[in-house]
Amino acid sequence: MTSLPSSHLTVVVVGGELSFLATMASYEEVGIGDAVLLDEISVGAFVDNLRVRFNGGKIYTYIGEVCVSVNPYRTINLYGKEYVNQYKGREIFERPPHIFAIADASYKAMKRRGKDTCIVISGESGSGKTEASKIIMRYIAAVTNVAGQEEVERVKNVLLQSNSILEAFGNAKTNRNDNSSRFGKYMDINFDFKGDPVGGHVQNYLLEKSRVVLQQQGERNFHSFYQVLFGATDSELSRLKLKRDVNSYHFICQGGTPRVDSITDKADYKTCQQAFKTLGFTPDEIDAVWRIVGAILHLGNIEFSSSGDETQIQNPKVVKHIAELLRVSPEEVSKALCHRVIAARGEVMEKQHTESEASFGRNAFAKAIYERLFSFIVERVNKAIEVRYEGTAARYKYNTVIGVLDIYGFEIFERNSFEQFCINYCNEKLQQLFIELVLKQEQEEYKKEGIAWQNIEYFNNQIICDLVEQPHRGIIAIMDEACLNVGKVTDEMLLEAMENKLKGHKHFTTRKLSPMDKELKHVEEFRIKHYAGDVVYCIKGYLEKNKDTLFQDFKRLMYSSSDSVISNMWPEGAQDITMTTKRPLTAGMLFKNSMVALVKNLACKEPYYIRCIKPNDQKSPVIFDQERVTHQVNYLGLVENLRVRRAGFAYRQSYDRFLRRYKMISQYTWPNFHGGTDREGTKILVEEQGFTNDVKYGNTKIFIRSPQTLFALEQGRAKLIPGIVIFLQKMWRGAICRLHYRRLCAAITILRHYRLYKMRSYMLELNRVFRNVKQMQDYGKHVRWPAPPLVLRSMVSDFQNIHNRWRAQMILSNVPKTEWPQLRIKVIAGDALVGKRVDWGVRENWEGNYLASTKENPEAATFQTAVRNMRNKDGFREVLFSSLVRKINKKDKMAERALLLTDKQIYKLHSKTFKPLRSPIPILEVSGVSVSPGQDQLVIIHLRGGNDLVISLASQVNANRVGELTGLLLRQYQLLNRSELRVVVGPTLQCMLGNKSRNVTIEESNVGSFPAFRRGDKRGDLVYTWPTSLNKELPPPTKTHARHAPPPPTRSSGANGYGSGNGIGHGYGNNPGSGNIKNNGYTGGNSFIHGNGSSHVYANTGRY
């Protein structure tokens, strides 16, 4: 046992483990959570309370600060993150009973006060001790390393992963527990000054190595043997010379239970392999570990036979497998198994084994190999978790330690041997420690508080500990004396020596000492009355197990291995055969010394306890065996502990905590007591409630005698808590709302000023970028707009529209306002025809009502008279367009007519009399316009009735008026229908005549002086012939002034109904986006009107 530095928190686990992951669904009180508050102090009342809580799903119960844990044998969620948060930093009495509360109390005592503490976890095998120790370690891991340091996280991971390896090689299935610890483990976890784990150390005790060669019915060997058979791959098994059949290996098939429902050997093997890597085992070390496991399995299959005085091995092939796995020669293996080299007075001789001696040597060799392997694993684990000072030793000089002792619990089997004797002796020592610490703690508290102490009667098991460990007269001393005797000393002679020296001891008996006791066998068994019950031990094998004999031949064999990992496990094999060595201590004496040192180490610490109870032997989650639990409650001394705790006072608490918990009950102490000390406030509160005769006032604590007083205090507190909670909720919600409002106002103010700042910055940047645009030829159209801030992103389009309107105004300022209506129509027409038609009349002066002019129509007076008559009849306001046309009808006959476009209708008139030839066509009946891409004057006005107007415009001066008619139709349709009219430009056009679809093809011809219609080659087709003599010579296209201008924003109507997009003023030539309108009768000077051909203009003016 190594001494521990400075402060320590020790967790002691006595016996097997717990196979549950628990959780409680709610905190409703079931039974009595703290047994100190029971009305009746008796074994029956205590067990009944445990039963009620167990049936209600509550597996934890307090006895003051002692936690009693009942194994639930089912999976319940009780250890998640939410439970960790509920118990972290809280006092034990603040939350329902839980193992986390004990772990947190001990951790706080260690971290805050630098106290040496220990958590003693005890109980019989299968009651849940090992699992309880894991839960404590997981809790400590969960509440440490708040800063997330990488090294601390590595240590936590290594500490948790080490359990997988130690359980694989140190745990086994027994008849009472599927995962029973068959060794003692004491783990120190080192913490720095912040309470974070920085390393650790593991020390193992008394591995039950006899299990390697012998198991009782229903039990298994160590888990590692089954993990390698069920979990290793086929190639790995082939390399180990193994096959996946448990019954093929004698050492692991004796119990008859190769598989266990609660254990998954295949998954555990993978977990163990991963843990090896996490702890830093090298590939060679991992390989050596599993080769040793395989060699032990083969060793159990070796059989011997005798031929005269010679002993031989019947299956030499197995020897070859063993030699190959251990990296030694087969001849040396055979020799070590069948012979023994003896050195006496400097002489060396070789002795042949008998068949029984060879079998004994084989078994001893197998046990020794496994024990050395286990010690090697523990050593490597220690290397992985050792504290790494790395030049900061001063920082860890005064570190604290959590010790975890996981050791087998009290055991009573059908056949109890030397191992069970040592295990039960260990439990006797720990039970003695428990009673002494509890009494000592109570006596010291009463003395410290000035309260009179009264003696409590309890069973002191010191007499049983003396029976085992007393010098010269104890059982261990008698066994050592027998081992030292010269000559043949048998187990029967050892039992006789015990009978002679222990005669009359009331806790020891044999058949010879009690002839009437028929349960004991003559010269074979003895009984010890332990605190936990009577145990019958079989004396056979005691001397050999106590001597722990292993022939030197095996040590030299293993040392000669070519594998350095195996060779280093056996350093004593290097000694010369003739060297004289000191007789080693016996196994019993070594175990006794380690237990004395362990108990001494624990006795100087502040104790916390977890007492584990097994509710039944069937591992059922619903059975509560009253008799079985009563037996455990008795031998754990729980009722004695309860009586000590209730020795006059059921409850005690410091004045500050008592006043803080119950101050709302009294008007003099709520909400805070300012009339003196906490003791005076407590006294006022108790006197007001009328409990003066049931309490005692210590120096720092108040002691309450009966549970009824505490219940009355709790009941009064419970009535007031809901109102206090509502009040606090109201105040806190108001505070949160006010805080939120202030933050919101501050955020709005900051945001407003920030937005103003960004707006000012952007406007200053705009001012800088557009400072000289008035002097630019295109008034800044080519200027790149700076990227706007997010707050102004939605307003940039408005800024651009403002700039575009200004540009339009600047451009239009050079155009007389009398020409603006004509310009609007040209913009509308250009939007539809620019880039599609080579000439659409943009250079012409658009007068509209041409037939009213004598230049175009000699019969202008007749025309105007006819128009007045039609206006009076149909009620239109103005004439937008009139012209002579040539039309073709559904019978393919061409005729000269006049076309009249008003603000509401389209009229087809007689070319001489100008009288309507049919009813006027409403403009809303127009569905589209089709024109050709050339200079011809073909226009198709599509009507909804299925009989389109197919016309060719005629002019005395050969003017191009297709664009003018198209623009006027588009504008009027938009004004009347609030939608756009479709315009089609193409060399071949479609129309409907007489409800039949016809194709119109445009042809240019050198023959003829006027355009004409004729039938086409195909049935139903029409050909429109345009004389080339009528074509005009067009000027070359002009370049645009803003070729790389950005695309215009989405369309929006301007203030006057005509400005939108990327500028209102557009000039059109033969390419989109540019135009040059020179002196042609309707513009003054040289005005350049720029555009990109994609803007839309809507007119809402009166007359054209």
> Is the pLDDT confidence value at 1084 over 60?
no
Would you state the pLDDT for residue 643?
A: 78
| Band (735; pLDDT cuts 50, 70, 90) | very high
Please give the Cα distance from 939 to 650 (Å, whole number). Answer: 112
Among 322-326, 529-533, 697-701, 1021-1025, the minimum mean pLDDT is found in: 529-533
Would you state the pLDDT for residue 790?
A: 86
| Band (660; pLDDT cuts 50, 70, 90) | confident
429 and 595 Cβ atoms separated by less than 8 Å:
yes
Please report which residue ranges of 386-474 form alpha helices under DSSP H.
Answer: 418-449, 462-469
Would you state the pLDDT for residue 563?
A: 92
282 and 232 Cβ atoms separated by less than 8 Å:
no
Q: Which residues pair with 899 in a beta bridge?
A: 883, 908
Comparing 762 with 89, the larger pLDDT belongs to 762
Would you state the pLDDT for residue 1037?
A: 63
> Is the pLDDT confidence value at 1052 over 50?
no
| Band (1098; pLDDT cuts 50, 70, 90) | very low
Please give the Cα distance from 775 to 18 (Å, whole number). Answer: 92
| Band (398; pLDDT cuts 50, 70, 90) | low
Would you state the pLDDT for residue 623?
A: 92
> Is the pLDDT confidence value at 840 over 80?
yes
> Is the pLDDT confidence value at 26 over 60?
no
Among 219-233, 879-893, 998-1012, 1081-1095, the minimum mean pLDDT is found in: 1081-1095
End-to-end CA distance of the chain: 115
Please give the Cα distance from 858 to 855 (Å, whole number). Answer: 7
199 and 179 Cβ atoms separated by less than 8 Å:
no
> Is the pLDDT confidence value at 677 over 50?
yes
pLDDT in tens, 255-272: 888 888 889 999 999 999
Look up residue 41 and give its two tokens.
């102090």
* Cα angle 556, 557, 563; round to 5: 110
Total length of the chain: 1104
**% residues pLDDT > 70 (the chain):** 88
Look up residue 1004 and give its two tokens.
């240019």
Would you state the pLDDT for residue 352?
A: 84
Would you state the pLDDT for residue 23?
A: 31
> Is the pLDDT confidence value at 1085 over 60?
no
Among 539-553, 996-1010, 1087-1101, the minimum mean pLDDT is found in: 1087-1101
Look up residue 140 and give its two tokens.
């400590």
299 and 322 Cβ atoms separated by less than 8 Å:
yes
Highest mean pLDDT among 267-276, 528-537, 574-583, 1047-1056: 267-276
Find the mean pLDDT for residues 1024-1049.
64
For the chain, state the CA radius of gyration.
Answer: 54
Neighbouring CB atoms inside 10 A of 722's CB total 9
Would you state the pLDDT for residue 5?
A: 38
Would you state the pLDDT for residue 389?
A: 63
Would you state the pLDDT for residue 486?
A: 63
What does each C-alpha distance from 627 to 379, 412, 614, 615, 619 come to in angstroms?
43, 16, 11, 10, 15
Q: Quote helix, strand, coil % in the chain, to nearest 5.
A: 45, 15, 40
pLDDT in tens, 855-888: 889 999 999 999 999 999 999 999 999 999 999 9
> Is the pLDDT confidence value at 1091 over 60?
no
| Band (209; pLDDT cuts 50, 70, 90) | confident
Comparing 393 with 908, the larger pLDDT belongs to 908
pLDDT in tens, 788-807: 998 888 889 999 999 999 99
1088 and 816 Cβ atoms separated by less than 8 Å:
no
Please give the Cα distance from 947 to 797 (Å, whole number). Answer: 45
Please give the Cα distance from 348 to 81 (Å, whole number). Answer: 67
Please give the Cα distance from 739 to 753 (Å, whole number). Answer: 21
| Band (1038; pLDDT cuts 50, 70, 90) | low
| Band (76; pLDDT cuts 50, 70, 90) | confident
954 and 1008 Cβ atoms separated by less than 8 Å:
no
Would you state the pLDDT for residue 522?
A: 87
DSSP annotation of 94 reads G
DSSP annotation of 471 reads T
Would you state the pLDDT for residue 1045?
A: 36
What does each C-alpha distance from 721 to 312, 396, 995 come to in angstroms?
84, 45, 91
Nearest to 130 by CA among 268, 13, 222, 264: 13
Average pLDDT score over the chain: 82
Highest mean pLDDT among 48-52, 1076-1080, 1096-1100: 48-52
Would you state the pLDDT for residue 1102?
A: 31
Q: Which residues pair with 950 in a beta bridge?
A: 940
Comparing 696 with 605, the larger pLDDT belongs to 696
What residues are labeled active site?
A: 125-126, 130, 177, 180-181, 409, 411
Please give the Cα distance from 431 to 446 (Å, whole number). Answer: 23
